[in-house]
Structure 1
Amino acid sequence: MPAGEQHPEGRDAPAINFWGEHPATEAEFYAAHGVEGESSYFSAPRADEGPERQLFTRAWTFQSTAVFLARSGFACFAADLPGHGRSHGLRAFVPDLDAAVADLLAFFRAVRAREDHAGLRCFLFGESMGGAICLLIHLRTPPDEWAGAVLVAPMCKISDRIRPPWPLPEILTFVARFAPTAPIVPTADLIDKSVKVAAKRAVAARNPVRYGGRPRLGTVVELLRATDELGARLGEITVPFLVVHGSADEVTDPDVSRALYEAAASKDKTIKIYDGMLHSLLFGEPEENIQRVRGDILAWLNERCTPAATP
């Protein structure tokens, strides 16, 4: 594409790297932030004879949040969902979220089994749909497997305010049986709804692994199913958690986070609602807002990693 020519959608062309053109390599980028990073593929175990599933994984992730936590002394590990980022599969297609959760759990348990991680406390961390996945992982594991969870604007239930009215979910479910991969579900531009700072919206739009098409029908139906499950099981959640949400979030509903806080059986639970903030709390806000949310997350984690004083 000639220099200066705009992307067909009106956005700038994707950047070479998720952080831009400079520095040229990931190693240089991480070195500039004082952390080390590595990436690889994890072969998820299969109970049947189906094709092998390859998840793209990172140790530290590509998000600035993980760099911040790594600089604060935490080892961070992440995996792309099937069909997302650099993991294998049709782009943006997740036909079975339970299988994806099982794959992620297998990866995290493989990380925990490493000798140099023995005795370390392990926390789940998820934003938006990732928050829902964290809770699904918790509900499928022994109650003491995780020291806690940080849930950032979690999509743990589709709010009645934005849920498609009856009978549309039933129609979508029926049609998905015949055309699950069809990218036909209409949706607003989530970047515009999520990211407050205009310059950061341009950066998000240029992410080279960002999927720019419409949501696939089977993925939307599966997300509705999974969030319906979570919404019905909020009272079974026992993991210690911090949930943070922006009061002006139009992508996930802060009232759902309030419902999670009220319903969860966890004895250690904290909620923070930030006035006027949007969905992308850890990237899309002005820097002073990001530092505020990061500080609250770090304080919560540090408090639960510090040994209690003995009398």
Structure 2
Amino acid sequence: MPPPPFFWGETPEDEYYKSQNVRNSKSYHQTPNAKIFTQSWLPLNQPIKATVFMTHGYTQDTSWCFQEICIAYAKWGYAVFAADLIGHGRSDGLPGYIGNMDEAAANSLSYFVGVRRSEEYRTLPAFLLGESMGALITVLMYFQSDPDTWSGLIFLSPVFVIPKAIIPSKLHLMMYGLLYGLADTWAVMPEYRMGVKVVRDIEKLKLLIANPKRYAGKPRVGTMREIMRVTNYLQKNFEKVKVPFFMAQGTLDGLVCHSGSEMLFEKAETAKAYKCLKLYEGMYHSLINGEPDEAVDLVLGDMKVWIDDIIQVV
């Protein structure tokens, strides 16, 4: 049986978005390095409280289940903007390959900042949100930005510390590194199965896998090298984070150690009153797209309370 055309089923896009009280638009943004696919979700029939700029995780894109997060924020009154990372979805690049995360961050940032500084949105609070690997790139975007650009950061299951059991072999990376420029794009790294402590709800796992634009090959050498490089870099630079932030992570996350979130919480120079870390007992990696509905509602509820409160003080 073929997968549905949309993650929600057969309902046409315009009809579905209208039922959710949001308006969606799609476009492409040309950066100096690549052309990236972008989307927005705007609330209907209510004033816009702030803007939120979202970055998806590894193998995913903005057009499938990740939209659940985007639509939720739009329904709460936030203007949401997102871009497919290079090598993902409908953006340029070799599928599954990010050979330079700083460049990937700069690509998305060029689109985000253009919207953030536009006449329509420049006076509103503005937040960056990153899920999983997207959290790494979100922090890089924050570091690349002028100090007054962002009002806060939001992280879902951030890849800040990787469990030892799934860290790529240093020998593998070294061997392929000797062939840098040739082997960097090779899809030969050991693959960690998506369902192991990643997605708890089996039906939602099936839906995630049905994404027609999901990268399903083995991890590419350069992508894994960059994940290792950037996680190490961020761990040494967490004190540079100075804006309010919200972090959510499951205690049984099989892809990411929650010690990374705890490390950011401790090291960031953000005022303690504006730091929020939520650890959800028994939840896996995919908090919004992979947990039972009642667990998803809990996480979304906490996210809504935090951002509705923080926009009153930033």
After TM superposition, the score normalised by the length of structure 2 is 0.87
Task: After TM superposition, give the deviation of residue 19 of structure 1 in Å.
Answer: 2.9
Q: For residue 301 of structure 1, what is the aligned residue in structure 2?
A: 307
Q: Give CA deviations for 1:64-97 in whole Å, capped at 9, x if unaligned.
A: 1111110100000000001101111111111111
Which of 21, 27, 33 is matched with 1:34 structurally? 21
1:55 corresponds, among 28, 36, 42, to 36
Farther off after superposition, 66-75 or 134-143: 134-143
Corresponding residue of 2:49: none
Q: Cα gap change, 1:263/1:212 in structure 2, threshold over 3 Å: closer, same or farther?
A: same
Alignment of 1:275-286 (within 5 A): 275-286=281-292
Q: Report the Cα distance in structure 2 between the residues aligned to 1:19 and 1:205, rounded to whole angstroms.
A: 14
Displacement, 1:165? 5.1
Using the aligned pairs only, state the percent identity. Answer: 35
2:68 alignment counterpart: 64
Shift of 1:168: 4.0
Alignment deviations for residues 216-263 of structure 1 (CA, whole Å, 9 cap, x no partner): 111111221122211211122212111111000011111111111112
Residue identity in the other structure for 1:94: I
8 Å CA contact 2:176, 2:184 repeated in 1: no
Deviations 1:107-143 (A, max 9, x none): 0011113222131000001100111111111112233
- Tell me, which stretches of 5 or more residues in structure 2 are unaligned? 42-61
Q: Which has the higher strand share?
A: 2
Retained in 2: the 8 A contact 1:82–1:89? yes
Match of 1:291 among 294, 297, 306: 297
Note the alpha carbon deviations across 1:135-161, whole angstroms, 9 max, x for none: 111112233321001111101233445
The TM-score, its normalising length taken from structure 1, stands at: 0.87
Give the equivalent residue in structure 2 for 1:261: 265
> For 1:1-311, what aligned pairs fall within 5 Å after superposition?
4=1, 13-20=2-9, 22-23=10-11, 25-44=12-31, 46=32, 53-60=34-41, 61-62=62-63, 63-160=67-164, 162-164=166-168, 166-267=170-271, 268-306=274-312
Counterparts of 1:281 and 1:102 in 2: how far apart (Å)? 27
Looking at structure 2, the residues matched to 68 and 279 of structure 1 have their Cα atoms a distance apart, in angstroms, of: 19
Separation in 1, partners of 2:165, 2:265: 19
Larger Rg: 1
Q: Tell me: CA distance 1:186–1:14, structure 2 relative to 1, closer, same or farther (3 Å).
A: farther
The 2-side partners of 1:307 and 1:272 are apart by: 20
Partner Cα distance (2:162, 2:203) in 1: 29
RMSD: 1.8
